[in-house]
Structure 1
Amino acid sequence: MKFLDIGEVSARSGIKPSALRYYEEVGLITSVFRHGLRRQFPPEVLLQLTLISMGKMAGFSLEEISGMFGRTGGPDLPRATLHEKADEIDRQIRQLSALRDTLRHVAECPAPSHMECPTFRRLVEVAGKRASAGKAARKGKGG
């Protein structure tokens, strides 16, 4: 098996060596030995780093991500938690889509004042309802 040194892992993953050392310190990844002063990692570390990056992008904390790896470092993903996070991302997508539509309309609206534009007022009203519904849903979940 060919091992990857920390510089190669950094170059291939796009993650700084300092972050790799931190991930190792908190137990997210594990080097297998050192060649001189350089940590050596098994090739599977690249998959682990991809999963860590995806978890961070999805809004999971490093502690939560750490709990998603089994004893061998392979994924042990809690399906219910992933469904909840996917639902949360769906809500964010709807809110961001409404915001995008409002911004585009504001940028292109020919009305002399946006407050006189019925489409603008409707978009703002819809966005406000979605924001309120999102807050109520998060509050109901303890957030």
Structure 2
Amino acid sequence: MLDISELSRQSGIAASKIRYYEQVGLVRSIGRKGLRRVFGSDVLPRLSLIALGQVAGFSLGEIRDMLGPGKELSIDRERLAAQADVLDRRIRELSALRDGLRHAADCSAPSHLECPSFQRLMRIALARQAGRGKGEKRPPQAGAV
């Protein structure tokens, strides 16, 4: 058994986040020790899976649905494969963006606005922004671009 402060220390996750995870049904305490929540040691792998799911771009609701409420973890392999496909598309997009930015940095055109490749990048960026405004789900991002 781990009280919430020990769980926080071992997992590196703030106690407030662990309380929030409990509130939204991702983890479950097994009782209290004084005023502190107490968790079973089986919650550590679950916190790791939650962290992995978030890094992979799943929402907390999607993670909760995949992990289920019990101690037995049953991860939907089809959802994992579908998310891997989303990440593959995002990698291709980011690679193309990187290549376009490198080209624009080295472009011999007098102005970036005269560079056909840079104009193409701007059109793609505008189309992506317009698509997001129409309910398109934003792809996961590991960091700012």
Superposition TM-score, scaled by structure 1 size? 0.73
Aligned to 2:102: 104
Greater relative contact order (CA < 8 Å, ≥ 6 in sequence): 2
Deviation per residue, 1:112-136 (Å, 9 max, x gap): 333555xx628937x94xx78xx7x
Give the Cα–Cα distance (whole angstroms) in 1 for the partners of residues 38 and 77 of structure 2. Answer: 32
Alignment partner of 1:96: what SS?
helix
Q: Which residue of 1 aligns with 2:81?
A: 83
In structure 1, the gaps of 5 or more residues are: none
- Aligned-residue CA RMSD (Å): 2.7
Q: Quote the Cα distance in structure 1 between the aligned partners of 2:114 and 2:81.
A: 42
- How far apart in 1 are the matches of 2:10 and 2:33? 19
Give the Å deviation of 1:91.
Answer: 0.2
Q: 2:46 aligns with which of 40, 48, 55?
A: 48
Partner of residue 63 from structure 1, selected from 57, 61, 64: 61
C-alpha displacement of 1:93: 0.6
Within 5 Å, give how 1:1-80 maps onto structure 2: 3-80=1-78
Partner of 1:121: 117
2: distance between equivalents of 1:59 and 1:51? 12
Distance 2:95 2:120 in 1: 12
4+ runs deviating over 6 angstroms: none
Query: Is the partner of 1:83 in helix, strand or coil?
Result: helix
Identity, in percent, stands at: 50
State the alpha-carbon separation in 1 of the partners of residues 114 and 73 from structure 2: 54
Distance between the aligned counterparts of 1:54 and 1:123, measured in 2? Answer: 37
Count of residues in correspondence between the two structures: 129
Q: What's the CA shift for 1:72? A: 2.6
Amino acid at match of 2:107: C
